[in-house]
Amino acid sequence: MFRSFLVMSDAYLALEDGRVVEARGRVPGRTRGELVFTTAYTGYEESLTDPSYEEQVLTFSYPLIGNYGVRAERFESDRVHPRAAVAREFTDEVVEWLAEEDVPAVDHLDTRDLVTSIREEGAMKVGIAVGEDATPEDAKEELSKCKGMSDHVDIGAQVTTPELTTFEGDGDTTVALVDCGAKQSIADSLVDRGATVHVLPYDATAEDVSELEPDVLFISNGPGDPKNYTATRELVEEFAGDIPLAGICLGQQIVASALGGTTEKMAFGHRGVNQPVRDLQTGKVVMTTQNHGYTVADPGEHLDVTQVNVNDDTAEGLASEELSVITRQYHPEAHPGPHDSLGFFDDVLAMTESEGNGRKRRVIAD
C-alpha cells in the first residue's frame, strides 16, 4: 500500500508568461518562486540541498531524477532549499525524501517546453498548487504573491549559519569563510588541503573576523542579489589590501561590488555541470559546475578578468595580484560535476605563502 505522498494528484503551475501547465502531483502543497532549470544529469541530491536555490523552483532538464537513490552523505546542507521541484519523472525514493522535507514536487509534464520557455523569456515567477483539491486558480493565487529574487532583501538570513562553526584542518592556515549560503563541499575542499575553516554568519562584523586572525577571508556562494549582502560587502571593503581575499559564485559578485565593480541579473543564468570556461592567460578550457542568476558586469579598476565563459563571455574569474584577490563565478569544488578546477583551492591557500601577504598595507581608497 502506497503512503500518502506517493498518491498521484492534480498539479498546476501558473507561469508569469500567462500559461497554466497541468502536471502530476507527487508531493502536495502550495508555493511560489523563481522558475529556473539545471542541465545536470547527475547530482540531484547536491542540487536540491544547494542553498543557492533558496526561493526558487528547480526544474531538472534530465528526464529521470532519482535513478541512483538518495544518500545523505552527498547533501550540501541540512535541508532541501528549492521551494518546489519539477521533473519529467521522479522516482518514489526522491518523492519520499521531498515529502519528508515538505517540498512540493510535480512530474509528468513537458520539461523540454519549460526549459525552452525559460531560455527564450528568462527565469520567471511561478505559482504552484499540488493536491487532490488543487485548481488552476490556486496556482494563480500563489503566482500573485511571488516576489522577484532581488526583492528578497533578507535572503542571506535564511541560509547562513546561526553561529560560528569550525572545521579543523591539520595544517597552519586559517580561513574565515563567510557563509552566505555555503555548500559544505567548499569547507571540505579547504580542510582536505590542511586549512582550518571558521564558518561565520553572513552578517559577521569586522571584529568577528579580526578575532580569528585568519590568513584568508573567503566569501561563499549563496542565493539572490549581491546588492542585498551589505554587511558582507562591508567586510570585503574593510579587509581588502590587508589579508588575501577569495570568493565563489555570489562571493565573486560581492568582492567585485566591494572593490568598485558592478553586477547585473542574467536572463536565465548558468545552472549545470557542463559550462565551458577559458583561462585568458593559458588559453585552457575547463568544464565547470555553475549555479547563478547574477554576474559581474564590470569588475572595476582594482580587479582583472582572468577567465571567461566560452558561451557568453561573462566573467568567470577575477584577480588582483596587488590586493591578493582570487575569485571564481563557477563552483570549483564541483559536487556535482567535473573536477577540472579543484586547483583553485590550492591557489587560494598559496596566497598565504607569498612573502608580504600577512597583514599588508591598504592599497585602495577607503
Instruction: Please state the three-class secondary structure of 183-225 as a single string.
Output: CHHHHHHHHCCCCEEEEEECCCCHHHHHHHCCCEEEECCCCCC
Report the DSSP beta bridge partners of residue 176: 198, 217
333 is catalytic: yes
Annotated binding residue at 29?
A: no
Estimate to the nearest angstrom the gap between the alpha carbon of 358 and the chain centroid: 30
Annotated binding residue at 250?
A: yes
- C-alpha 301/C-alpha 217 separation (Å) is 21
For the record, the C-alpha cell of 177 comes out as 569563510
Q: From the candidates 198, 270, 292, 331, which is the catalytic residue?
A: 331
37, burial (CB in 10 Å: exposed 0-12, middle 13-18, buried 19+)? buried
Annotated binding residue at 222?
A: yes
Annotated binding residue at 228?
A: no
Annotated binding residue at 253?
A: yes
331 is catalytic: yes
Annotated binding residue at 293?
A: yes
Annotated binding residue at 229?
A: no
270 is catalytic: no
- C-alpha 243/C-alpha 237 separation (Å) is 11
Whole-angstrom CA distances from 237 to 30, 219, 225, 286, 299 are 41, 12, 18, 31, 15
Q: From the candidates 142, 152, 333, 335, which is the catalytic residue?
A: 333
366, burial (CB in 10 Å: exposed 0-12, middle 13-18, buried 19+)? exposed
Annotated binding residue at 189?
A: no
Q: From the candidates 55, 249, 270, 335, which is the catalytic residue?
A: 249
- C-alpha 22/C-alpha 242 separation (Å) is 55
Whole-angstrom CA distances from 108 to 88, 112, 114 are 5, 11, 12
Supply the residues annotated as catalytic. 249, 331, 333
Positions at the binding site for L-glutamine: 52, 222, 224, 250, 253, 291, 293-294
Positions at the binding site: 52, 222, 224, 250, 253, 291, 293-294
